[in-house]
Amino acid sequence: MTNQKQDIEKRRSEVARLYLQGLYQVDIASHVGVSLPTIERDLRVIRNRWQESALRDFDQIRAEQLAKLDLMESQLWAQWQRSCETILKTRKETRKATKYPGTNHAREKVEQTGDPRYMMAILNIIERRCKLIGLDAPTKVAPTDPSGTKPYEGLTDSAAVDRITALLDQARARRDRADSGEPV
pLDDT tens digits for range 14-38: 999 999 889 999 999 999 999 999 9
More confident residue, 111 or 78: 78
Residue 184 lies in a domain: no
Task: Give the whole-number percent of the chain exceeding pLDDT 70.
Answer: 94
Beta strand segments in the chain, E? 87-95, 102-110
Residue 70 lies in a domain: yes
Residue 31 lies in a domain: yes
Task: Give the whole-number percent of the chain exceeding pLDDT 90.
Answer: 46
Residues 25 and 11: their CA atoms lie apart, in Å, by: 14
Residue 150 lies in a domain: no
Residue 159 lies in a domain: no
User: How many residues are present in the chain?
Assistant: 184
* Per-residue pLDDT, 56: 78
The total number of structural domains in the chain stands at 1
Is 0.75 topped by the overall pTM?
A: no
Residue 145 lies in a domain: no
* Per-residue pLDDT, 97: 65
DSSP 141: -
Residue 172 lies in a domain: no
Q: Are 90 and 105 in contact (CB under 8 A)?
A: yes
Q: pLDDT tens-digit profile of 122-180?
A: 999 999 999 888 888 777 777 887 777 888 777 788 888 898 999 999 989 888 888 88
Residue 160 lies in a domain: no
Q: Is 114 exposed, middle or buried (0-12, 13-18, 19+ CB in 10 A)?
A: middle
Q: 102: domain range?
A: 3-137
